[in-house]
Structure 1
Amino acid sequence: MVPRVAKTGRSFKGAALYYLHDRKANTSERVAFTETLNLPTNDPRRGFAHMIDTAAHAHELKTAAGMKAGRKLEKPVYSYSLAWHPTEAPTKEQQLAAAHETLRELGLEKHQAIIVGHNDTDHRHLHVIVNRVDPETGKAAVMSKDKLKLSKWAQAYEQRHENVFCQVRVDNNEARDRGEWRKYKQERRRDANDWKQQTTAQIWQEYRTERDGAKDARKGSYDALWKRTQERIAARRGTIREDYRAQWKALYREQQQERKRHGAVVRSAMPKAPKRKKPKLGAEYWSFYKVADGRADLAKAQQRARAELSSQQTQAIAQSFDQEMQAYRQERDALKAEHKAEDAKRLDHYQGLTKRVWKDAAKPEGSKPPPAEMERPPDHERQAKPTSTEDAVRNRMQEKRDRSRGRTRRPRPR
């Protein structure tokens, strides 16, 4: 539980514009619920009008109550917020009960108040806008030590629910009970910007760490995919070789039979050499055998047959390799697309966290709402405030030209 008190304000209209609408918009989508207290209406906009009327007639109320009028209260708008931890999910009734407890703790249970619940953050929170002017006596409520009261109430609230989220608050309150001095530190804009920068740096450091870790894991995925592809290629190469093994055996067997048949034919046609110690026809005989028997032509034909079968086997292996590589590229591209989608999702997530730090936390809860009117005139009726002397001079010259164009001129004498 985090209670935060905003600075006291002058305009209930500005508070209504801020708390009953979305930031810098005329919509009211972030308003989850509203409740009015000590007001004759349940409409929060009319309730703010009644609070304006009460604050404007504080002098008459004091006079009617028999009190000294005194000086006019300049800042009747008192507002604070109650924010729960993101892990908590209180119901509407529980949030309203907590707001009523804080009003009693501050002594504002008889004052006019409007409770507005918002749903634009990841934690449940509400705002309580109180009129400091008592609707019966016209006396302004004294809000001294309001932060200390809300701090002790928040500590008791967490202890009552047996879930203490802020131990520092417990230590500070115990030190205050012992008489030690502890100062409430209001967050400055510079501190808030420093926190945002540090938080953003931590967010993107986590993003880079997660991205680098994903790269390492993905490298293992690609390596495993390539290893599986190589195993499939080797398996298909072995299968093809096993299929062609029978064809090679048959081819070798057939070629061996051809050589045997050819040798038998040659031997049957070969003339017998005369029985001499030194045959003179030996050289001629062997020349005839090498040329006439056609053994060289048979060897060439068999070599061509083996080359053709080898080419078929190589072509089948190359075709299987191309098929496996095509399947590998498809799986790799699908894996890349999946990783690319994961990268885009991760980047969007961390960009959303960064925008949330800088946009949603741009204005601290409980800060003073910008002064504005409840009913703003249309855009064409509002005039932009000059930002510099040159702009002011330019606007005046434009106004003179507009008046000059609308003026009826007399005809010149000829």
Structure 2
Amino acid sequence: MPPVEGETREPSDEAEAVAPPVAPASDADHLDGHEPEEDAEEADFSWLDEDLPPEDDETVPTDVERIEPSFDEPAAATPLAPPAARPTIDPDAGFRLRQAPAPAAPAEPVRAPWLLRLREGLSRSSNQLSGSIGSIFTARKLDEETLQDFEDVLIRADLGLETALRITDRLSEGRFGRTVSGAEVRGILAQEVEKTLTAVAVPLELDLEKKPHVILVVGVNGTGKTTTIGKLAAKLTRAGLKVTLCAGDTFRAAAVEQLNIWGERTGSEVVAKAIGADAAGLAYEAYDRAIENDSDVLIIDTAGRLQNKTELMAELEKIVRVLQKREPDAPHTVLQTLDATTGQNALQQVEIFRNVAGVNGLVMTKLDGTARGGILVAIAAKHKLPVYFIGVGEGIDDLEPFRAKDFADAIAGTTADA
């Protein structure tokens, strides 16, 4: 029956069942210029987005129960030792601490043996001597002219006239008129130098029956007094002795600062005053302080002074007098530091400081890098003062007891058993 106008009929289930599916528009429809008809209502395809990840501005629900995979966690390793407390590092420090246990500290670099370092330090002196000896004693018989040339070489090497004459006399014995090798000459040189130095190569003796043993260190400017004091303090404290240091160079702030650093490194108390303070009064106070501390040794630094400055040398005399008021035998040791690079001028320095301050022991510094190491032989021959230590570097272990044979072999360029 035809539909009545204005009446809406619902499609029957039968009609829906037999209705053929609508075929999608083909490319041919577009080619014919016909556009597909749009549905009255836009199709809902939101279900396609259900499995897509959320956009950046979307928030993942937090109330959704997450199912974590179940795996057996490995057992935590038992630490070998309780971890040490870790320091708090500022985030702006530019570094951070690793969470893993710190590796063992690397081994300290192996230092060359002392004799090797001594040979390296005296290499300029040795090379100059060896070169001159080689040029003189090459296919040439020993005669007066040869001996004179050799004597000049020894004097230029700062060995001194007395030592030079003794070496040339020894060389001429039984060898005059025959050819002498350079090796033979160097051997004689080493033997004669060792003879001169053996008498002065003695250890520093400390009298702890009269504590504190007072060591006064003197010398001209730039000879390494303060550095020598620091190295000596390191040796003494390593041996178990208690040391007090006195910053008696009251003219230089750098000297006081340097001595304070050595005091920290060696665990020694440093007695100091403001720049310009009276050095003699400071030495007196330092002695009392050393007694209070039950120190074994008191080492007193002094300002560098030229041997021709009368007023400064008088101040050094005052320090000695003030110490002797406190202890008649003080200072027990007066060490003079000598710069090997000064050459023959060191001879005059020893003479003047010996008369003013009663120098009774020497320390030769800066033997490394100089061709004038022979001056130590000349000083030993003339003044016959003990040479306690020599220095061939700036390191804390570069101050070593003086050994005559080691020095003689090094400066002559011979082996230890030659």
Query: Structures share a fold, TM > 0.5?
Result: no
The structure that is helix-richer by fraction is 1
Instruction: Quickly name the TM-score band, shorter chain normalised.
Output: under 0.3
Q: Which has the larger radius of gyration?
A: 1
